Structure 1
């Protein structure tokens, strides 16, 4: 089976899980993530939910190799005792496009470096264990541009190849006054080159990768 154009992620946000260690409470949450900009609002929501917490540690990963990005945040805990153990579970479960947050309410007893690493790792693991992990395809998006009279040619290929249309629109060509069609399609990565060549070989049709 070809895994080169697939990846695994979580289907939806997890339920809250709770892990206790020497009086401290660790609340774990997993969230699907599409962009880095979504992280801050999620953290702010959890701060309102747990106003007495002292640490809101997290890790996230976006994308797939070679354009993958990630971040691990200790949020005041000793260096590498929170964010990296959380991120380690993202790697262990082989998932991406998600955020895991562990909120700690201090219980009065210091856990030490080893205790913290274990607690954050365990909480992240428990949070992922309650998630449904699903497989998704890595898709390539193209914009097809064409004179309206060539609409049938484009739609025939889309139908024959069973391609997914993301959006479509018509606009007027300022130079000629003729209607121009634009259709955005998405294709599994392994089929993208073949589909590109198919459209690229049709006269008067332009295709560009987004």
Structure 2
């Protein structure tokens, strides 16, 4: 089950006199990731390397370090901690000792991993978006059933005949919801995915 961060998490590590400052945050869009990266990056640092992941989308950047020695290991740390909807920036202040390719991979990946390990995580629950329309007299009963099934009511639109509802529900409760709504509306309401 994937996790995201509850809030901003920071960690500082010193590796062979280089200082690595890790900042990780929850995100839901690529724009949020880029804004966070721009906000926390230090122009005075030697390198501001980063990675983010949202579902199947991801990006990473080595910011001048040798190819795939910083951004890729940070992304691997995100995936290794089973995180999603997360951005991680590792700010490096060079301390005078070269780490070599393997050392850079271990430093960036390890510091990102340590930061995520200490972070407060929230389980990401995948929900399916659904839509249906019901009569006014059916809505209070259906609304109670939605609460029992931990469905999220995302939008309600009232018209002359009733209520058009957009909800999100976990896959394991979908069949139960479909049966409940069918029973309440005598098979008249069809849920649209």
Normalised TM-score (structure 1): 0.78
Task: Give 1:198 deviation, angstroms.
Answer: 4.1
Task: Give 1:80 deviation, angstroms.
Answer: 0.7
Cα distance 1:96–1:165, how it changes in 2: closer, same or farther (>3 A)?
closer
Q: Which moved more, 1:88-97 or 1:27-36?
A: 88-97
The one of 85, 94, 110 equivalent to 2:73 is 85
Task: Give 1:152 deviation, angstroms.
Answer: 4.2
Q: Secondary structure at the match of 1:208?
A: coil
Conserved 8 A contact 1:28-1:127: yes
Query: Which 5+ residue runs of structure 1 have no aligned equivalent?
Result: 1-5, 173-177
* 1:56-205 to 2 correspondences below 5 Å: 56-63=48-55, 68-152=56-140, 154-155=142-143, 157-158=145-146, 161-172=148-159, 178-199=160-181, 202=185, 203-205=187-189
Q: Secondary structure at the match of 2:63?
A: coil
Normalised TM-score (structure 2): 0.84
The one of 35, 39, 45 equivalent to 2:39 is 45
Correspondence for 1:175: none
Conserved 8 A contact 1:200-1:207: no
Query: Which 5+ residue runs of structure 2 have no aligned equivalent?
Result: none
The one of 8, 13, 18 equivalent to 1:13 is 8
Correspondence for 2:29: 35
Cα distance 1:9–1:194, how it changes in 2: closer, same or farther (>3 A)?
same
Off by >4 Å, runs of 4+ in structure 1: none
Which deviations, in whole Å up to 9, do the C-alpha atoms of 1:118-164 show, x marking residues without a partner? 211221122112202232322112122223344245335435x4343
Alpha-carbon distance in structure 2 between the residues aligned to 1:168 and 1:35: 21
Q: Secondary structure at the match of 2:119?
A: coil
Q: How many residues align?
A: 191
Task: Give 1:13 deviation, angstroms.
Answer: 1.6
